[in-house]
Amino acid sequence: MARERWASRSSFVMAAIGSAIGLGNVWRFPYIAYANGGGAFFIPYFVALLTAGIPLLMLEFALGQKYQAGPVGALRAVGRKWEWVGWYGAFNSLGVVMYYSVIMAWVVCYIVFSLNLSWGRDPAAFFSDFLGKTFTTSVVAGVARRTADPGAVGGISWPVVGALVLCWLSIYWILSRGVLRVGKVVWVTVPLPFLCLLILAVRGLTLPGALDGVRYYLTPDFGKLADPKVWLAAYGQIFFSIGLGWGIMIAYASYRPRTSSITNNAFITSLANCGTSFFAGFAVFSTLGFLAFRSGVPVEHVAKSGIGLAFEVYPAAISQIPFLAGLFGVIFFLMLASLGIDSAFSMVEAVVAGLEDRWHIRKRTLTRLVCLLGFALGLPFCTGSGFWWMDVVDAWFTFFGLAVVGFLECVIIGWFFDTRSLREYISSVSEIRAGPWWTICIKVVTPLILGISIALNLYRYLFVERYGGYPTWALVVFGWLVIGIVVAASFALSGSKAVVRKEEA
């Protein structure tokens, strides 16, 4: 059977951009930049983009396109013994989408909450109640403190389950007709968040105190560039933001003809992704500046990243907007939903492509099965302790899932494969040649930085501190055990009997 094809180059590029741009561009990058030297952070960020992000994206595009297969089939084509790395990447996608979809479900609920600003005067308390977060109250030195209790499951949040069903139905609907429908959907889901960001940035910059916030975001502290942690943060941000190590880009590129350009598509995807992050900083920090101004505190008191920014700080700022506050709430959460949906369905696509390449089962059936599995795996995160479990699972997939796959891809292609032939293939089909710089980045720079980052995190969470202050059992069960199961399943499936294509036999 002929492989599916994107309708056009632009559909493919839009889908790759949509996959790369996600929630992290809005809620992670601006804070990371602010915390690591402000405007000076752009220097290590661009260095990381050119020496790790773009080369690795070129590698993933090249693997998918050259072997016309998803992550599993492409790594198998590189060498049978490396197939497990393909599965590892695909399982990373499955692992992340199971809780990513739950965050999207929260976002959907918050679109509704925005209509009447349901979070009231205390968005943090509202968010905690909404999730039914489980806490343990302890008294330390006469002061009562609430700490996370991942052991008390608590009740299930039915509104979140309802929204989760909606998210998975959307994902299934988009993927059910293959990349042709994906190619159409991304023409809505990719420009929509840009439009929302633009509206939020313009509104944010016209609020009192906004320029104070932007000053925090942009004022450079060049002294920080001497700190290796800042460089590691830049490489980490680039690596996780572009969507490397998930198998997604390999799967997407596999639906392009073998003769399609690689280098320029990688540049366009990466630059669009980073350009969105850069722009999002203005929308976020102008609003934080306004909130700080209204609250009479310095910006650093309200600066947060991640879930705290989206569901606690930003709603607090929205409530203070003098005119049509609810509308800006809807726009903000609609932006998050549209940012998240194309990342979510691309993760499912990576898993489906892996299974399809291996067993040649009908893609629609596989999509249905993976969506059902993703929904079922997401249900535990809809409970009161789900938030804490999500925190641990997310950290472990980031540190020991995605980073490890990226590292292995570089080592396998750089040191156990004919890198030169792959570089020549890339150059032969691309508008921009891949020079020796690409080989150096793949062989040395990217694996070195990723290796250091993995080793540091391993050392830190094994010997120095307990992640997030959670009990050891929670870290073992939701961190190490989950990653252990993923690795074991990757090895088990790579040794399983495959339905081999005629041309392979």
Binding site for another protein (CB under 8 A): 9, 38-40, 42, 46, 211, 214-215, 218-220, 261, 264-265, 267-268, 271-272, 274-275, 278, 431-432
Q: Compute the distance between CA of residue 455 and CA of residue 147 in angstroms, rounded to an integer.
A: 29
User: Residue 486 Cβ, how far from another protein at the closest point, in Å?
Assistant: 34
User: Residue 219 Cβ, how far from another protein at the closest point, in Å?
Assistant: 5
Answer yes or no: are the C-beta atoms of 402 and 92 closer than 8 Å.
yes
Is the CB of 220 or the CB of 308 nearer to another protein? 220
Q: Compute the distance between CA of residue 179 and CA of residue 8 in angstroms, rounded to an integer.
A: 11
Containing H/E element for 135? strand 135-140
Is the CB of 220 or the CB of 306 nearer to another protein? 220
User: Residue 5 Cβ, how far from another protein at the closest point, in Å?
Assistant: 16
* Residue 404 φ then ψ, to 5°: -70, -40
User: Residue 48 Cβ, how far from another protein at the closest point, in Å?
Assistant: 13
- Helix, strand and coil content of the chain, in percent to the nearest 5, comes to 75, 5, 20
* DSSP code for 465: -
Is the CB of 9 or the CB of 181 nearer to another protein? 9
Is the CB of 214 or the CB of 426 nearer to another protein? 214
User: Residue 23 Cβ, how far from another protein at the closest point, in Å?
Assistant: 20
Is the CB of 262 or the CB of 482 nearer to another protein? 262
Query: For residue 32, how many C-alpha atoms fall within 13 Å in the half-sphere facing its CB?
Result: 26
Answer yes or no: are the C-beta atoms of 95 and 393 closer than 8 Å.
yes
Is the CB of 278 or the CB of 467 nearer to another protein? 278
User: Residue 45 Cβ, how far from another protein at the closest point, in Å?
Assistant: 9
User: Residue 423 Cβ, how far from another protein at the closest point, in Å?
Assistant: 19
Count other Cβ atoms within 10 Å, centred on residue 235.
Answer: 25
Query: For residue 73, how many C-alpha atoms fall within 13 Å in the half-sphere facing its CB?
Result: 29
Is the CB of 13 or the CB of 104 nearer to another protein? 13
Residue 394 Cα distances to 74, 293, 475, angstroms: 26, 33, 11
Q: Compute the distance between CA of residue 94 and CA of residue 375 in angstroms, rounded to an integer.
A: 11
Q: Where are the beta strands (DSSP E) in 291-433?
A: none
